[in-house]
Amino acid sequence: MNENKKDIKNYTSEELKFFLHKDKFPKFYAKQIFIWIYQKRVEDFNLMTDLSKENRDILKEAFYFSNLELLKEETSSDGTKKFLFGLEDGLSIETVFIPEARRATLCISTQVGCKFKCGFCMSGQKGFKRDLRVSEIINQYLFVADKISPNKITNIVFMGIGEPLDNFENTTKTVRILTNQRGICLGAKRISISTCGLVPEIYQLAELDLKIKLSVSLHAVNNNIRSRLMPVNKKYPLEVLIPAIEEFSKISKHAVIIEYVLIKDKNTKKEDAGKLAELIEKIGAKLNILVYNGHSQEFLPPKQEEIDNFKKELNKKGIFFTLRKSRGQDINAACGQLRSIME
């Protein structure tokens, strides 16, 4: 039973060192334990042979190792894999693995459900349940990394179920574990946090200077349209959001990635493309264009003519952009389709 034990994967290296030092453990134990868990993938204190037996026994009484339960795994025709994981309290989340020729990206969830109810996204349709703990976020990586071994995950996007910056502390702690040299040891530039536009948290993330990338879901350059698509815009409208993006770019020295999903008759007009081009040039951002996949009854995918005209206008303005291909759509693993079973 684990009632009186602490989940060791909830701790960063610094937190674990502090916690252990209170109990008179040597400070270097935290580093050794991190190597055992995250590099050697050992989750049994008995096997951590460079720790004294006496201290191993104490650790066994203090900590336990949590894991996710795989409820379902699906593979798309394009090779994308979606995992449905069960949590200790009976709730569930989804994680997506996207293999490509030169990279292998893991899309991680940070919450069960979502508070922000963007009109074109399924993740918040059943409401918000709770934040994920650090261990529940990092265990998504550990499970999939072990599953695909000897192949490796090269990139991580916090773009699954939930708003990562709404679970700020646990998301950033997970980043510290992922980038720790004795942890996962993943390059910070290979990690991207996506947000719907939580302005105070963007500034806070900039101050932490974790060297990671930031992706902002914009989807409209008009407050009225954006507020309809994304209710968060009523609290943090464009004139408040844009300076936060600029500040993050200034501190991080990374161009922020602007995500813009094309939705029929909503944000695909010539003037929309023109204003978007002006904004991208002004803030020096990178631009990803997505085509809405039509999973909501309220919104529809754009016609090909709309897409072509929008791209043509961006090209005319000299704006470089990436048209992101929707992956895993046949297994509901594409952007905005993740929702999981939460009953």
Distance CA 61, CA 52 (A): 15
The one catalytic residue among 14, 94, 281, 305: 94
Q: What is the DSSP letter of 236?
A: S
Residue 335 known to be catalytic:
yes
Strand ranges inside the chain, DSSP E: 6-7, 63-64, 69-75, 81-86, 92-99, 104-107, 111-113, 128-131, 155-158, 191-195, 213-217, 257-262, 286-291, 322-323
Residue 73 known to be catalytic:
no
User: Sign of the C-alpha dihedral, residues 288, 294, 297, 298?
Assistant: positive
Separation in Å, CA 120 to CA 25, 180, 215, 327 = 51, 36, 18, 17
Pair 34, 185: CB distance under 8 Å: no
List the structure tokens of 101.
């020729």
The one catalytic residue among 107, 114, 121, 335: 335
Please list the active-site residues: 94, 335
